[in-house]
Structure 1
Amino acid sequence: MPHLLITDDEQATRELIAEIAVEEGYTVAQAGDIRQARIQIERHKPDVLLLDMTLPDGNGIELWKRLALDDCQVVFITGHSSADSAIEALRCGAVDYLTKPISLRRLKTILADLKTAAPAAKRPAAEPGKDAFSRIVGSSPAIQLFCAYVEKVAPTQATVLLVGESGTGKELAAEAIHLSSTRRDQPFMAVNCGAISPNLIESELFGHEKGSFTGADRQHKGYFEKAHGGTLFLDEITEMSMEMQVRLLRVLETGRFMRVGAHEEIVTDVRVVAATNRNPEQAVAKGTLREDLYHRLSVFPLVLPPLRERENDILLIADHFLQALNKEYGTTKRFAEEARQAMVSYAWPGNVRELRNYVYRSYILADDVIEGNFNSFSLESHSTGWGSEITVPVGVPLADANRQLILATLKQCGGVKKAAAEMLGISLKTLYNRLEEYDAHTDVDESSSSVR
């Protein structure tokens, strides 16, 4: 099944094209600007690219020239219908171009033609597991063991529950499971349950019929329908309402669902990989995760190791990010030994995501050598004087105000309890007692108190 990336700054245009493309047999990803397009291309190289010539953060044609995507066919979209724009598009290797407002008939014709000619439709199926772990960098025992478990569970149809701190790479792990499975040639779709409005999540997951609610001006297919035959990654599963958890459980048990406003069930063949950055058993105890759904999702639970448990991988990952930036911008920047030592000694409470941001920020600031004097933790050392504030309404009980202050201070200190206790002017024992009262001691890493 060929993969299509739609890059256009108009959301309505993207969604309309996406619905038509899915009906034409494509898997689809969307991007609203160049930055998002690069992210989507890194996740899944497209066979066909629909690319707006003018984007908020740059020129679509210049992006296409820099990408150098082999075996990818591009169709440019332009808001200015002219011979010059058409010639410019074709000179850049476009197979066709579309003008706004887009003709749906012409769009369907182009997509049908490209599907027939798309390299993805002609390539033999990839070998199981091939390149599945190409984006998971590391050689530490912790990450090697994790990858070994992924290789074991991927060929099965078991649902997987990924548990790990924010920034540990849960979506990459879910994608590795998909690419190592027999579903690797079918859609992989990721949904952040915490980022979707509670009023919309039912429609997003299961779809809706035209006229089923105000604003539903056409039929909409949900993720369970779009991901048919493939893998659906549900991130932040504990942020889903209890009512939606009941519906999700039923789909997992029966393989059937109904669109909002529909009366007939739809059969779906989707493998679900769920994820949470919380302790799932504690979430069950707190009532934010149904116990029956927890057991249904955790047929095969996997815990992603935090970066502090992958000490040998820190420099490998940092070098990986830096090499990618050097390649993209044609530079040869490198880390000074001081910076390398500092990275290894830091706790990285934000895990791989924080390390990636540090490398990017340091790359921007450096000329040729990335020194150790401007990094994420040197900024943090000055943060106590920046006057971070929390707002407590008048009349809030003192105990609640204390709770907000303690947890906010702990967060600002990156989870380091000793530093938070010193900032608050209380003993470390008192801080531990307070956290136990708040039942928050599992939300902040225990081992980080030994750092510094």
Structure 2
Amino acid sequence: MSYLLVVEDEAETRQLIAEIAAEEGYDVEQAADVRQTRILIERRRPDVILLDMQLPDGNGMELWLDLQLSDTKVVFITGHSTVDSAIQALRCGAIDYLQKPISLRRLKGVLGELKTLMHADPVAGSEDCFAKIIGQSPAIDLLCAHIEKVAPTQATVLLVGESGTGKELAAEAIHLASSRHAKPFMPVNCGAISPNLIESELFGHEKGSFTGADRQHKGYFERASGGTLFLDEITEMSMELQVRLLRVLETGRFMRVGTHEEIEANVRVVAATNRNPEQAVQDGTLREDLYHRLSVFPLQLPPLRERGDDVILLAQHFLDDLNREGKTAKRFGPEALAAMRGYSWPGNVRELRNFVYRSYILADDLIKGDFNAFDLDEQAPTQGAEILVPVGVPLADANRQLILATLRQCGGVKKLAAETLGISIKTLYNRLEEYGELSETADQ
């Protein structure tokens, strides 16, 4: 039987927690202050501590840090919960936190999760949780460290980062490192679903609840039961739907469209946005109360430009995948590597992946011209030209780079360059004249 210590100065609250914990199968003892807590811990080390942040003779969080009980799970109790205090509690290693007045349903849920966590294989959920996150930069190491801290808790997480930084991968890592790893992970892009359908998609609907509802439909909250629901682009939700989501997060229950019967929402919510959430609150696209409820543990995802040589690790990872699929052995040339390091990648990892894929395809098309961002010789680096055309460059500029680089590669022979490019010699002359690059020297 797991031993649980309740540390709470309010006698009625302490007794209530002790009774509920005993009903849930814990061996329970109680302490009202720091002094009693230290005495009880010296006698017997608890498996779980429910610890009030403010005690008559000290601070609960400082007590916890001083005790250094690495094998004990802690849940903080607070009567003055704020986003900052919740974040601080979780970063101190708390599994969760309870706000006064304590909800009995939430208390039972936390105690149940603790039992599951203590009896679970500690490696099963976290062994490969970071397998899809490629990188060795300090920014990525810090992100993974924070994920490891928050994953075992039931805290809602708000992922904030530019488009293409890998918010869904981070959400999946949180899921895989949690006690919910064996249950579904369901990503939902709130901006990709019609505003008329998103309520039904999230919460489900009953047959006949609206025109076209010819059968009962289970929404994401129901289908993700026991697992994790990832709500991407949360600021794209209507304000009315944000109210409903807030109610689900606070009560742990929801209703399908067309019924008044409540269903328990046994899911962990991870949300994400590519906007500044505080600015979204000011702009009126995100409710302030929902923002605070979602950002119990906010995580900032670093843009690729702040990840140093991770850009090369990622590019090589994408190229390795393409080489395996295509049974090829293409490699990056030194100029391409330097160009990738020097580019800011405003589209982040998504832009890099698309660039590698596009360049890989072009390599097959332009083998005769020996021209692309990779070493085309599969055995040794090519001596041919290399270019890097980032996403966002105007098409006319990209065409100019392509034409001039091909002409150089063909030794200035315009006929060969035109054939390589797949255009007529007349079109090539017109383009060169437009660029001010038309030489009077005859082709050899």
TM range (shorter): 0.5 to 0.7
C-alpha separation in 1, matches of 2:148 and 2:296: 15
Alpha-carbon distance change, 262 to 381 in structure 1, aligned in 2, over 3 angstroms: closer
1:373 to 2:377 alignment: no
Q: What corresponds to 2:323 in structure 1?
A: 326
Could you list the per-position Cα deviations for residues 377-414 of structure 1 after superposition, in whole angstroms to 9, with x for gaps in the alignment?
2881654699xxxxxxxxxxxxxxxxxxxxxxxxxxxx
1:131 to 2:128 alignment: yes
C-alpha separation in 2, matches of 1:344 and 1:166: 19
C-alpha separation in 2, matches of 1:231 and 1:339: 40
State the Cα distance separating 1:182 from its structure 2 match: 0.3
State the Cα distance separating 1:375 from its structure 2 match: 3.1
C-alpha separation in 2, matches of 1:216 and 1:136: 40
1:167 to 2:171 alignment: no
Q: What corresponds to 1:312 in structure 2?
A: 309
C-alpha separation in 2, matches of 1:217 and 1:193: 24
Could you list the per-position Cα deviations for residues 59-100 of structure 1 after superposition, in whole angstroms to 9, with x for gaps in the alignment?
xxxxxxxxxxxxxxxxxxxxxxxxxxxxxxxxxxxxxxxxxx
Q: Which of residues 181, 186, 205 in structure 2 aligns to 1:184?
A: 181
Asked whether the equivalents of residues 137 and 307 of structure 2 are also in contact (C-alpha less than 8 Å), the reply is yes
C-alpha separation in 2, matches of 1:342 and 1:132: 32
Aligned counterparts, 1:223-372, within 5 A: 223-367=220-364, 370=374
State the Cα distance separating 1:376 from its structure 2 match: 3.1
Asked whether the equivalents of residues 160 and 298 of structure 1 are also in contact (C-alpha less than 8 Å), the reply is yes
Asked whether the equivalents of residues 125 and 185 of structure 1 are also in contact (C-alpha less than 8 Å), the reply is no
Question: TM-score scaled to structure 1, two decimals?
Answer: 0.56
Cα-Cα RMSD: 1.9
C-alpha separation in 2, matches of 1:203 and 1:373: 51
1:154 to 2:137 alignment: no
State the Cα distance separating 1:311 from its structure 2 match: 1.6
State the Cα distance separating 1:374 from its structure 2 match: 4.1
Asked whether the equivalents of residues 362 and 374 of structure 1 are also in contact (C-alpha less than 8 Å), the reply is no
Aligned counterparts, 1:397-436, within 5 A: none
C-alpha separation in 2, matches of 1:373 and 1:159: 46
In structure 2, give the amino acid aligned to 1:127: A
Alpha-carbon distance change, 195 to 378 in structure 1, aligned in 2, over 3 angstroms: closer
Could you list the per-position Cα deviations for residues 302-345 of structure 1 after superposition, in whole angstroms to 9, with x for gaps in the alignment?
00000000022000000000001111111101110110000000
Q: What corresponds to 1:143 in structure 2?
A: 140
Question: TM-score scaled to structure 2, two decimals?
Answer: 0.57
> What secondary structure, in the 3-state scheme, does the structure 1 residue paired with 2:270 have?
strand
In structure 2, give the amino acid aligned to 1:370: F
Structure 2: gaps (5+ residues): 1-120, 368-372, 376-384, 400-444
In structure 1, give the amino acid aligned to 2:374: I
Asked whether the equivalents of residues 162 and 303 of structure 1 are also in contact (C-alpha less than 8 Å), the reply is yes
Structure 1: gaps (5+ residues): 1-123, 387-452
C-alpha separation in 1, matches of 2:232 and 2:392: 30
Asked whether the equivalents of residues 318 and 359 of structure 1 are also in contact (C-alpha less than 8 Å), the reply is yes
C-alpha separation in 2, matches of 1:150 and 1:129: 11
Alpha-carbon distance change, 379 to 272 in structure 1, aligned in 2, over 3 angstroms: closer
C-alpha separation in 1, matches of 2:165 and 2:392: 22
C-alpha separation in 2, matches of 1:256 and 1:321: 42
Aligned residues: 263
Q: Percent identity?
A: 73
Runs of 4+ in structure 1 over 2 Å off: 371-379, 381-386
State the Cα distance separating 1:373 from its structure 2 match: 3.4
